[in-house]
Amino acid sequence: LPSMLMFGVILASSGLLLMIERGILAQVGPPPLHPPAGLSRRDGRDSTAELELEVLRDTRNRTIRALCGQRSMPRSVWELPPGQRRTVLRHLLVSDKYRFLYCYVPKVACSNWKRILKVLDGALESVDVQGKMDHKSDLVFLGDMKPEEISYRLKHYYKFIFVRNPMERLLSAYRNKFGEIKEYQQKYGVEIVRRYRKNGGNSAGDDVSFSEFLQYLLDEDVERMNEHWMPIYNLCQPCAVRYDFIGSYERLHADANHVLEHIQSPSFVRFPERQAWYKPVTAETLHYYLCNTQRRLIKELLPKYILDFSLFAYPLPNITSEFCRQ
């Protein structure tokens, strides 16, 4: 259903693919909306940012309501096919003490959120504790519970998710997994090079190009993708799970503080600062990679991630010749 829906979204707008090709959508922001009632412009410095944030959230909410309101869309996790249901339930982390569900998305600060869950549960002393993050132990996954326990929590708990620009997330996954993690180089890198490069049989998988990675994604079944590059829609199913809050990587600390305040976490629990060794994907870095990649690859890959772009109000990448010459 999601695969058919992706193509339906594209075909429903007859000019979308042409606009993608010409880069027309690349700089299109959310549609202009009247500010919601009660939004006051206290001063010229803060009111613009507040208004932009309100417009962004309103755009996301309207888009999700419109899409998820279609008859064919699932209304609950129990209406999902078994494979899709397993995926979302094993990405929903549970805090019974603070009554919330968090759908973790790899490459969207999920390690830090897992640290917070462990601190809230008493399994970790502080979010600043150094060491390799264990992504399984001391965490409670909704998928490990009984059906009636799952239904209760989905109905009564506060539910949130954090999202990120799809292409930026893919680039982050590529640089991390194929540039630093030997396990991924051996498991995926060797196969990617063998499949897409002539005489690539001797590669150790640590030299995968970004273009080869995108070609691999283009040929992959979305439902069978690794979680680090599976679309957010497929990981968290925002139609089957009605999230109360959608935070963004671009406003990570402000949105994280909003969630922590809402769940009434202890005052000593704060969202961790970025590690000194971490090298973020900048706009310039993304620009460089996209502009040095075949446009055909990017245009053909966009339909697989079109729901992440549209539902979460991210502009499509600008890969026009004019922009890339800058």
Say how far apart CA 168 and CA 174 lie, in whole Å.
10
- Residue 171 domain-assigned? yes
State which residues form the domain around 211: 167-228+281-325
User: Looking at the structure, do residues 313 and 241 belong to the same domain, yes or no?
Assistant: no
Same domain, 174 and 309: yes
Within a domain: 35: no
Q: Tell me, yes or no, whether 97 and 154 share the same domain.
A: yes
pLDDT at 7: 41
Indicate if the alpha-carbon torsion angle 292, 295, 296, 301 is positive or negative.
positive
Domain identity same for 198 and 237: no
Regarding whether 238 and 146 lie in a shared domain, the answer is yes
Is 70 domain-assigned? no
pLDDT at 272: 86
Answer yes or no: is 259 within a domain.
Answer: yes
Residues 211 and 253 in one domain: no
Q: What pLDDT does residue 24 have?
A: 36
**Same structural domain, 223 and 236:** no
Q: How far apart are CA 219 and CA 233, in angstroms?
A: 18
**Predicted local distance difference test score (pLDDT) of residue 166:** 97
Residues in the chain predicted with pLDDT less than 50, given as ranges, are 1-45
Helix, strand, coil percentages (3-state) for the chain, rounded to 5, are: 55, 5, 40
Question: Whose CA is closest to 162, among 243, 274, 86?
Answer: 243
Domain-located, residue 187: yes
DSSP string, 178-222: HHT-HHHIIIIIHHHHHHHSTT-TT--SS---HHHHHHHHHHS-G
Q: How many domains does the chain have?
A: 2
Instruction: Let me know whether 87 and 213 are in one domain.
Output: no
Q: Is 40 part of any domain?
A: no
Q: Based on the domain organization, do 106 and 160 belong to the same domain?
A: yes
Residues 288 and 258 reside in one and the same domain: no
Q: Is the residue at 69 inside a domain? A: no
At 86 the three-state DSSP class reads helix
Q: Is 47 helix (H, G, I), strand (E, B) or coil?
A: helix
Tokens of 130: 């150094």
pTM of this prediction? Answer: 0.84
pLDDT for res 127? 81
CA distance 58 to 32: 11
At 17 the pLDDT is 42
172 and 312 belong to one structural domain: yes
Q: What is the pLDDT of residue 5?
A: 46
The tokens for 263 are 């769940």
Q: How many residues in total does the chain contain?
A: 326
Residue 17 lies in a domain: no
Query: Same domain, yes or no, for 119 and 135?
Result: yes
The pLDDT assigned to 32 comes to: 36
pLDDT of 133: 64
